[in-house]
Structure 1
Amino acid sequence: MTCLNSRALNRATLARQHLLTRSDTSAPEAVAHLCGLQAQEPQEPFIGLWSRLTDFKPEQLDDALSGRTVVRTHMMRRTVHLITADDALAWRARHDTMLRQRVLGTYRRELAGIDVDEVAAAGRAAMADQQPRTMSELVQALEGRWPGPPRRVLGELLIAALIPMVQLPPRGLWHQTAGVRNLPLATWLERDIAPLPADDNDPVGQQLLRRYLAAYGPAASSDLRAWCGLAGLPAAIKAAREELVVFHDEHGRELLDLPDAPRPHPDTPAPVRFLPAFDNAILGYRDRSRIIDAPHLGLSVAGHRTVLVEGRVTATWTVRNHQLRISPLRPLTALEQEAIHAEAQDLTKFLDEDIEHIQLDTEN
């Protein structure tokens, strides 16, 4: 069995994430290929797509959101994701149990004794008039029947777990700061959510597996589980195993992959890339050592924007007081500093935030 070292896995990840070479695909096609972009910070997906696509313009994603080709919804790991409408409808039922369990697990004490099916039915009845509502407005319609749980807890139960919802534009549009207004997914898209097939081979899980490997592989089953939050998809992996190829990493973990997926040579040069907060190129794995060193793992979950140099997280970046500031995590060579500065100049033009200065710290 072939061993893939960390650098080989890094180059495979970069290639599939469109971070090795920018792609000329459309914004919705990129969102589909990437299996969604984590989007609890509404502006961050724009940066993620800019780093991945040739000549990306913010209005391309705005049009996809306003045109209902792409939606903002809770999906993988109970996190708000930007995901295509087709994938949201196809995948939501497969995520229902996980979403419910995560909310109930987080708020076990506050929701003790609550019949969640009754809450779901009441929530659907409250949304039957097809009018967008904030979380507060939806909770207000129900709290007379369930006065016990805190409003925020009841709202999260409804919106993140029980009723498949979309966060409507202008939330998530470029340079917009609109609050969250919710509408049921099926209402917004005027299409029904696909029911979960009664199939022991888990066909939806198989699709998730193949799509995940296309965008993130080679990967272990624990990486797949960490990405989607589902319980490993063992039936799907078993059903699809014969069509997959198998490797192992330097720690002996079994890695699955699609036979014809790109696996560039480990020595392939990797350009500087600026990543947004919570980018799935980092968060889409249980073992993130292919892209970030262990001492810096906390950066990826704390919402720091990062810079890839030679394919690895090497700096963080912020925009504040008309300055783009880059803080390296290790000493940089002169050539690395030059490449970072060049990419930063292009980024400032894209951000269009009246950035007057690029500050590249030289001490760390």
Structure 2
Amino acid sequence: MILDRRVLNRTTLGRQLLLERAALPPAEAVARLVALQGQEIDAPYVGLWSRLASFTQDDLTALLHGARVVRGTLLRATQHLALADDYVWLRPLVQPVLDRMRRGAFSRDLQDVDPAELAELARAHLADAHRDGRVLTRPQLRDLLRERWPQAGPMALGYAAQTLLPIVHTPPNGVWGRGGATPFTLAEDWLGRPMDDPLGPEPAAERLVRRYLAGFGPASVMDVQSWSGLTRLRAVMERMPDLRTYRDETGRVLYDLAGLPLADPGTPAPVRFLPWFDNLVVAYADRGRLMTAEQRKAVCVGAVIYPTFLVDGFVGGMWNLGGGVLTAEPFHPLPARVREEVEAEGARLMAFAGVEEGRFTWLPPRADRRAGSSRG
């Protein structure tokens, strides 16, 4: 069966809770998305607000303070928020990704540092701090490690420890509006339990594939690998008996969980604002179900994924909120009715963000500016 772009779009939006705001507890929504990209502090809050019928900043902050949701290095060796029950099996699964990143980024700075010794010493420092009722920031841990390896690159030591050990970043850092020096704590100390998989003997890679497809499918092997950072998943997916296959319009094989429905391509899709690095945008190697190749060049720049807004289910432009002003930059001219819908959703976003007397402003469509530039 061949799935066209619109079927993929609507099916994905439905599974991502973006066709209709869901009446789910925030913890269930986090589980649905597997893990929320979190290097931009406020982004997970906006991502959940766009998906849930009644969500406040305090909802996610309470989950972080209560250690039901934790922040740490996970998928693609980047910061994510995940349920504690998911973190304990996800973190060991992505260890090869973290090792690959460490060797690629820091091999020169750490050429005389034994990774096993570094992990052991970092664990001892973090455990000592925990016993004293303290946490260590990355710079503090780095300085302690430099006493053993003064010749090593200073930044590399702190980041390497983060790839070698299951380290989480504890609140109040990382809650809405609170950045600053990142506190490091061993996951088992913060969670009060060992890093044991609570979900039984199922291979973690197969569990990850099922969870991904439930929230992001149908998708290709390359999509799953791009999202997770893992490699060699083709053999894993081909041997899973509960997957079915489709093809997209280019002939690419797409996998999905057997029994999960496909969406009606005519389903209405409301305007939605997606934050920096939103799960929907980073989840695919081929992002054609969301945007054109030309739009991708503007939205996905190097390692950065800019905030976008959806119009009729597809990326319609980019946005930014700062200084009490929400600025929208459409890719193409929008009808008056759509502009009104974008402005209304933008007003709701500013209210969620606590922006009093906020102002909405439009930039000229990118297509118009590009055409004007070429004429000039």
Q: TM-score, length-normalised on structure 2?
A: 0.91
Structure-2 residue corresponding to 1:18:
17
Counterpart position of 2:370: none
- Map Cα deviations across residues 153-192 of structure 1 (whole Å, 9 max, x no partner): 1111001x11111100011212323431010011100111
After superposition, the Cα gap between the structure-2 partners of 1:72 and 1:104, relative to the gap in structure 1 and judged at 3 Å, is same
Q: How does 1:78-157 map to 2 (within 5 A)?
A: 78-129=77-128, 130=130, 131-157=134-160
Task: Quickly say closer, same or farther: Cα 1:93–1:302, change in 2 above 3 A.
Answer: closer
More off after superposition, 42-51 vs 175-184: 175-184
For this pair of structures, how many residues does the alignment match?
Answer: 359
Tell me if structure 2 keeps the 8 A contact 1:124–1:163. Answer: yes
Deviations 1:213-253 (A, max 9, x none): 0000000011000011011424431331x211100111111
CA distance in 1, matches of 2:198, 2:232: 17
Distance in 2 (alpha carbons) for counterparts of 1:244 and 1:339: 38
Is 2:334 aligned against 1:332?
A: yes
The AA in structure 2 aligned to 1:88 is Y
Partners of 1:40 and 1:216 in 2: CA distance: 21
Counterpart residue identity of residue 220, structure 1: S
Query: What's the TM-score once normalised by structure 1's chain length?
Result: 0.94
Contact 2:269 2:312 survives alignment (8 Å): yes
Gaps of 5+ in 2: 367-376
Q: By how many angstroms is 1:121 displaced?
A: 0.9
CA contact (8 A) 2:88 2:197 kept: no
Q: Deviations over 1:107-164 (max 9, x none)?
A: 22222232111111111111122231001111111112212222111111001x1111
Match in the other structure for 2:312? 310
- Per-residue CA deviation, residues 66-114 of structure 1 (Å, 9 max, x unaligned), is 0100000000000000100000012211111221111111222222232
CA 1:303–1:249 in structure 2 vs 1: closer, same or farther (change >3 Å)? closer
1:318-351: CA deviation from partner (whole Å, max 9, x where unpaired): 1223211111111111221121111112111111
Residue among 187, 190, 193 paired with 1:188 = 190
Instruction: Trace 1:170-209 onto structure 2 (pairs within 5 A).
Output: 170-194=172-196, 203-209=203-209
SS of 1:183's equivalent in the other structure is: strand
Aligned ranges for residues 35-54 of structure 1 at < 5 Å? 35-54=34-53
Q: 1:17 to 1:78 in 2, by over 3 A?
A: same
Mapped to 1, the partners of 2:157 and 2:259 lie a distance apart of: 46
Change beyond 3 A, Cα 1:234–1:303: closer
CA distance in 2, matches of 1:270, 1:82: 27
SS of 1:186 mapped into structure 2: helix
Shift of 1:196: 12
C-alpha distance in 1 between matches for 2:177 and 2:111: 40
Q: Secondary structure at the match of 1:147?
A: coil
